[in-house]
Structure 1
Amino acid sequence: MIRSISLGIAVVSALCFGFSGPMAKYLGAAGLSPLESVWVRMAGAGLVLLVILAVARPGALRIPRDRLGFFAAYAVIAVAGVQALFFLAITRLPVGVTLLIEYTAPVLVVLWVRFIRRVRLPRAAYLGALVAVIGLGVVVEVWQGLRLDALGLLLALLASACCAGYFLMSDNLHVDPLGLVAWGMIGAAVVLVPISQPWGIDWAAFGRTVTVSDFTLPVAGALAWLIVVATVIAYVAGVTAVRRLSAAVGATVASLEVIGAALLAWILLDEHLGVAQIAGGAVVLLGALLAQTATAARQAVPPVGEPVLTGVQGR
């Protein structure tokens, strides 16, 4: 039962993240640049969480002195790095290829856990991550229109590394997850100021309505959904799931975000799924199901004489 609940939380996180692309399209149609949209998203989500926690759980906002560096690294790597590098990469590479490269993160997480933290994982963890990446390749039809711009490839690889960092750092059991996400968002908004240049945002755009593929939404409504659902709920659920499942399993299950995004784009943007997308989605689901069997490896059993290594050691 506990495992099923944990997996459910991970799926909710992936589906909520899936709204990012469709809602960002409405902001783009209103005139915001991708980096402006990222900044508004991070700043808005950070403020929402700060207000909620200040009223309901003020203790969650306290940052222990010995964790200041960790919180700063989370803001820069796990939030600002993932968001900014992805949006910069898609200016030089096809979106599908960039997504595929970014979602090699589960493989990076599995390798980190095995060789850096020295935690033994069952074969299902490795197989699930590999199968999920193969499925993503089919979903985005990586064989079509591939052009490997050197800088774009580097940016996408860095985004993948930051994405892996998000899962690994979210696995830290010594900090409050809600406070971590709240300060991570605020810190990311501060870090992104120089490149997002929010002073140039056309704030009047949020009072308009825009139409994308015959579907009309108020821009303010799209932004609210992007902030509350695709950011606050997605990040909080994601961190919670990683702590329950482990970074390796949580990262692989998070690959379902691409499937969720494709389905939502089909519904909201009339971007139809082809046979390859449906087949690839089934493969991704298989990878996620394989990976979830590795949940029992949250605490590995080492040979006699060696210390027990858990998911929180090695940071």
Structure 2
Amino acid sequence: MKSPVRSPERTRRLQGYVMVIAAATLFGINGSLSRSLLDAGISPVTLVEFRMLFGWLILCALLLISRQMGDLRLVLRHWKRVVVYGISLALVTFCYFLAISRLPIAITLVIQFSASAWMVIGESIWHRKFPPLVMIIAILLTLGGVTLVTDVWRVQLGGMDGLGLLYALFSLLTYIAFLVVGRNVGKHVPALQSTTWGAFVASIFWLVLQPPWTVPPVTWQASHILLIALVGVIGMAIPFTLVQNALRRIDA
């Protein structure tokens, strides 16, 4: 007989895999928007700063609507974890923007989203056991989804920018760190709260490094602000909350 406990567990894992694929798709769409802003003269620092800020404002609104602001005490209880999570969020986004400013978006995304595969390989070697088939399938689906969204097979690989590849490697490493830290935070703080206050920490981090009055004038054009706000929604608030929710459901 099948254990009745396994069915809910499988359902949670399936939900997690769907969330990861949805997040990967949104990151792909966001990459195109972000690249257009970078090409228009918005610096990577400015883009990540405003992306975090707009994302945080959207997430705060969701917290208020869902009446979950009362869980702030839980966040304060684990503030050290949330701060580390926020800094990892700031760094992975910055490295990603640096990479796509010099490389095709498709290449950067495939490199970054291979993070889960490298984590599974590392844990399998560490524990000396083969990863579950369902996890392998989930990783392949995630990478396949990113590949389809970005049309990576159409990219010309000749003459790749060396510095861009280095930034993409940093993007991969910081994304692995983000997943590890996020999994730890997710054991103590719900996904929406951890992502909201992680985005707050990331916003403060970049506002200190680049105060608003030093932001280049080109940023303040209405069309640029609207696009950056959209990046904050589909490139930060929604996908990072999905990833954090997924980490609570699966071993990514």
Common fold, TM-score beyond 0.5? Answer: yes
Structure 2 residue 213 is the aligned partner of structure 1 residue 202: no
Partner of 1:144: 157
Identity of aligned pairs, percent?
26
What per-residue deviation string (whole Å, max 9, x for no partner) do you get for residues 18-73 of structure 1?
A: 33123324534654223212211101111232344256211333345663222122
Partner of 2:24: 14
Q: How far apart, in 2, do the equivalents of 1:89 and 1:204 lie?
A: 20
Pairwise CA distance, 1:146? 4.2
Q: Residue 198 of structure 2 aligns to which amino acid in structure 1?
A: G
Unaligned runs of 5+ in 1: 209-218, 248-315
Partner of 2:5: none
Q: Residue 53 of structure 2 aligns to which amino acid in structure 1?
A: A
Q: How far apart, in 2, do the equivalents of 1:36 and 1:195 lie?
A: 10
- Tell me the SS of whatever aligns to 2:187: coil
Q: 1:173–1:243: 8 Å Cα contact kept in structure 2?
A: yes
- Tell me the SS of whatever aligns to 1:245: coil
| Alpha-carbon spacing, 1:122–1:9, altered in 2? closer, same or farther (3 Å) | closer
TM-score by length of 2: 0.74
Partner of 2:94: 84
Hey, which of these two has a bigger chunk of helix by percent? 2
Specify which of 56, 63, 76 is matched with residue 53 of structure 1.
63
Q: 2:111–2:168: 8 Å Cα contact kept in structure 1?
A: yes
Q: Which has the higher contact order (CA 8 A, sep 6+)?
A: 2
Unaligned runs of 5+ in 2: 1-7
What per-residue deviation string (whole Å, max 9, x for no partner) do you get for residues 115-136 of structure 1?
A: 4577862245347647866995
What per-residue deviation string (whole Å, max 9, x for no partner) do you get for residues 144-176 of structure 1?
A: 224362x54433222112212233333332212
| Alpha-carbon spacing, 1:186–1:64, altered in 2? closer, same or farther (3 Å) | closer
What per-residue deviation string (whole Å, max 9, x for no partner) do you get for residues 84-136 of structure 1?
A: 11222344545443333222202222134334577862245347647866995
Specify which of 160, 166, 184 is matched with residue 154 of structure 1.
166
Q: Residue 95 of structure 2 aligns to which amino acid in structure 1?
A: L
Q: Residue 72 of structure 1 aligns to which amino acid in structure 2?
A: V
Q: How far apart, in 2, do the equivalents of 1:54 and 1:23 lie?
A: 28
Structure 2 residue 42 is the aligned partner of structure 1 residue 32: yes
